[in-house]
Chain A
C-alpha cells in the first residue's frame, strides 16, 4: 500500500501533524519516504476532497487534521484492504 493519500490519512488518524511530521511518521510506519512534491500534491488533493483540513498554527508549519468525511473514507479503504488481506490469508492456508 503506497498510495500517498492513504498514507497521509493513516498518519493523521493518530493526531494532527504538519508536513515534515507526516513525512517522518509515514517513513516510520510504512518504510516509504514521500518527497515534498508528492506529499504536497497529495495534501492538495485531500484538502480539495474535504478529507483533511488545516488547523490553527503557531509558526510557518501548517498542521492538518482528519475531517469526519476523511475518517469515513479511511475506514472504507481499510475495510476493503482488510477484506483483501483476509481472502489472501485464507487462500494461502488452504
Chain B
C-alpha cells in the first residue's frame, strides 16, 4: 500500500527528472521497507524539485491543479443531497396583512432544539456527525439545511436538503405540519404546494468544492514558495504561532449559552434586560450579549437571548466548570423572567444550551466553525424578522 502510494508520488516529479531517474527510483522503492515517513519524504522531494525547476506562477498553478484533483475526489465521494419543498399560505386573522417573512418566527419555534432533536432521532439524520460532534452542533447543521423563503405576499416555502429523497420529504412534511399548528393560532394557514418526493439534487457540490480546492491549492503553493524562499521568516512565524497558541491557554475562557423564549409583545428587549439583570445571582460575571426579537408587528415576541459568562477554566486540565456556569447563569436568567412574567407570560422554546467551545479565545479554526455557523443562524432569522 505504502509502496504503491510512494510510486504514485514519483509521478509528481518533473517530467525531465522522471525520464532520467524514475526507473531506479522505483527500484529503490521496491527494495525499501517503505514507511509513512518515506511517503512524506518522497512528496517533499517532489515539491522541492517542482519549485526549483518552475517559475513561481507555474508552481502555484500546478499546486492549484493538484488542489482541483483532490477536491474532485472529495466532491465525487460527497453524498448526493435532495431538496424537498412545501409552500404554505397564511391568511392572517388580523386587519393588517403581514409580510410572509413575518411568519419565520413560527418556523423558528418548530426549529427549536427539542423539535429538531426529535426529527434527527426519528429519521436517523446526520448519523456519522452524531458520532463525532455534540448534538448542539448537529442541530445547528440541520438548521442550516432548512430554508424558509417568502413566496409572494402571504406565502412562504419550507425546504430541507437531505441525503435521502424519502427522508427529505418526510422531514419537510413534519416541519410544515408543526409550523401550521403554530400558525393556526394567529391565522388560517393552508398548504399551497404539497412537498413531493424530490427528484432533483439540491445543488451540484462539484463547482464550489473544486473552486475551493483550486484556491486552497494555490494558497498552499504560495506558502511552500514562501517557506523555501524565506525559511527564517517561516520558522519565526511558525514558532510565534505555537507560542501564541500555548499562551492562549493561559487566557480566561468565555462561554456563551443561548435560549429562545416567547413572551408577549409588551416585553421589549430593554424590559427583558432590566428584568434579567435586576437581581440575578452571579450577575457580576455575566453579560447579556444579545437579545434579538425574532418576530415583528402585533405577533407575539420570540426572543433569542444569548448570555456570556467569563470563566477561569483550564483547558489542559479538562476543567468544564465555566461551560456549566454559562448554562447555569442562563437558567437563572430564564427563571428570573419566569418569576416576573408568570407561567402565562413566558414560554421557553429552546432551553439554555450547554456551550461546547469557548467564544473567546478562538484557539483553533476548527473550533470557530460551529460558532460561525450558529451566528449565521441567529442573524438569518433576526434579519428575516426585521424585514
Please, how many residues of chain B have a CB less than 8 angstroms from a CB on the other chain?
24
Q: Which residues of A contact B48 (CB under 8 A)?
A: 37, 41
Interfacial residues of chain A within 61-91, with CB under 8 A of chain B in the complex: 61-62
A32 to B26, CA, bound (A): 22
Among the listed stretches B34-42, B120-128, B324-332, which one makes contact with chain A, having 4 or more residues with CB under 8 Å of it?
B34-42
The reply to whether the CB of B45 lies closer than 8 angstroms to some CB of chain A is: yes
Question: Given that A20-B31, A44-B17 are contacting pairs, would A38 and B24 also be in contact in the complex, using a CB cutoff of 8 Å?
Answer: no
Point out the residues of chain B lying under 8 angstroms from A18, CB to CB. 24, 27-28
> Is A60 touching B46 in the complex (CB atoms < 8 A)?
no
Q: Taking the complex as formed, is B44 at the interface, i.e. its CB lies under 8 A from any CB of chain A?
A: yes
**A37 smallest CB distance to B (angstroms):** 2
Q: Is the interface of A mostly helix, strand, loop or mixed?
A: helix
* Known contacts A41-B48, A61-B27, A36 near B32 by CB under 8 Å: yes
Would you give the shortest CB distance from B29 to chain A, in whole angstroms? 6
Give a binary string over A15-41; 1 marks a CB under 8 Å from any B CB, 0 the rest: 000111001000000000001111111
A3 lies within 8 A of chain B by Cβ: no
Q: Which interface class (under 10, 10 to 19, 20 to 34, 35 or more) fits A?
A: 10 to 19
Q: Quick check: is B74 within 8 A (CB to CB) of the other chain?
A: no
Nearest-neighbour CB distance to chain A for B139, whole angstroms, equals: 46
Q: Does B6 contact A (CB under 8 A)?
A: yes
A35 cross-chain contacts in B, Cβ below 8 A: 37-38, 40-42, 44-45
Docked-complex contact A37 and B27, CB < 8 angstroms? no
For chain A residues 36-53, which have a beta carbon within 8 Å of chain B?
36-41, 43-44
Taking beta carbons and an 8 Å cutoff, which residues of B are in contact with A? 6, 17, 21, 23-32, 37-38, 40-46, 48-49
